[in-house]
Structure 1
Amino acid sequence: MTDTILYERTGHIARLVLNNPARHNALGFEELAAIQTYLAEVREDEQVRVLIVTGWGDKTFCAGASLDQLGTGNLSGDTFQATTDQLAALQIPTICAISGNVYGGGVELALSCDFRVGIAGSKLRVPAAAIGLCYPISGINRFVERLGIVTAKRILLAAEELPAETLLELGFLDHLVQPAALDETTERLAQKIAHLAPLAVRAMKQILQQAAAGQIDEAQAQALSMQCLESEDLKEGFAAQKEKREARFKGK
């Protein structure tokens, strides 16, 4: 396993860290394979309630797929898309702590998370049109689903460079903070989500994702709702409200 991707879990919060700042945290075949392995581990670990994705270095969060490997054919867009699809499909909430500038496929990596925290002074650009590359189809669909067609055109067709303040206005960022506050803000959000009822959070995430895609599976949505109604967590939630204390959810 490459040391350019790090993973750890503390309590109910897992962290996936891009650890190649010398190459602007670009993702080659080894990095993508490691990310896929760790995401599979997250999926199977019932203790994980929130995943944080971030990167080391104060300049670039992620420069996207390795252009060197793409140019030589050692890396395909399909491999990158398989990774972002796997991240987006996780049932638990995910938070991207964007530690610097974000480019190319790094933008989609961030978009594949449920929440994004960015820092003042950073910027975003997807240069696919500037180098003659048509962005992968599932990636284009993710841009449209998450940001809308107008913003997707600005980012993909016009290859605009957008500052953090504009990204907040467009809804790409949920929170915009000073660099020194990134870790604290992200941790606070993760802790808040980790203390919510896991079954309810996962159920609503699945239904919200289906709604965003324009095709809610009514039978599945109803089954998810009933699972929450019949759960021990709901009983605990009502008891905590009545007793004026913090609920202790078990995800059952």
Structure 2
Amino acid sequence: MAGNPQSILKWLSLFAMVLRAFSGETDELFLDLDVDQVANGTAGSWIQAPWGESYVSAVRESRYGDAVWARYHMDGRAVGNIIEADNTTVTKELLDDAMGYRLGNPELYNQVATRYNTTSSNDGHRELVDIIIGALDEDLKALEKRDVTYTIKCSSSNLAPRSSCYELLQDMNQYETDLGSTRTIDYYGGCWFRVGPHGSGADLTWYKAHAVGKLIYDDCPRTKACCSTVYVSGYSPKNSGHRKLCLSSKSTGC
């Protein structure tokens, strides 16, 4: 029976989003790295031991809290629960990321949080699952009021060396093709260019992502009191034209 093409596309998009959330072992939010790629060393040379191996085993054993803990330690910024360079903690960063995902991708967030709630009884970091599930209690309208939307929003935390971000943007692809389901657009040195989950929203091209990254780079230079080095950290919120984009020292979130 024939149906409205727009309705069919909408349902196909929602079905694909559900498959991404529930099929396999990873997802588009907190556990965004492919297990096989991490296991065989093709996910990136930036992943520090023993966290890649910990991530793989935790995901395969459905220990979602342990997997999230490993994911937030992979880039070497965190020691225990402390991220000294940014004067914050893993749990605080996780909570911030959870609120952003909850606001920007509520349907996908609900699906992923529901799956995490089935975490193994052997999970050593169930408290991280509780943080993720706890964000479901947040009222979306209240979150929207807290999230003031600017074209570019700069940050004083998660500062990346501006020189590294310059090299990243210089070498980055600028094709007029969609980013697709990737979460890490590129990285160089201590600078990461990340994009929010695809979900069912509008995609964006490599060309447009590069243009937004350049705006963040231009608008958000910052120095530390101790040093002459120039840093950058900022993001462009999700809107009708593109997913959220983040340029910072974080290899997670956005």
Tell me the TM-score normalised to structure 1 length: 0.28
Tell me the TM-score normalised to structure 2 length: 0.28
Q: Which has the higher contact order (CA 8 A, sep 6+)?
A: 2
* Larger strand fraction of residues: 1
* Larger helix fraction of residues: 1
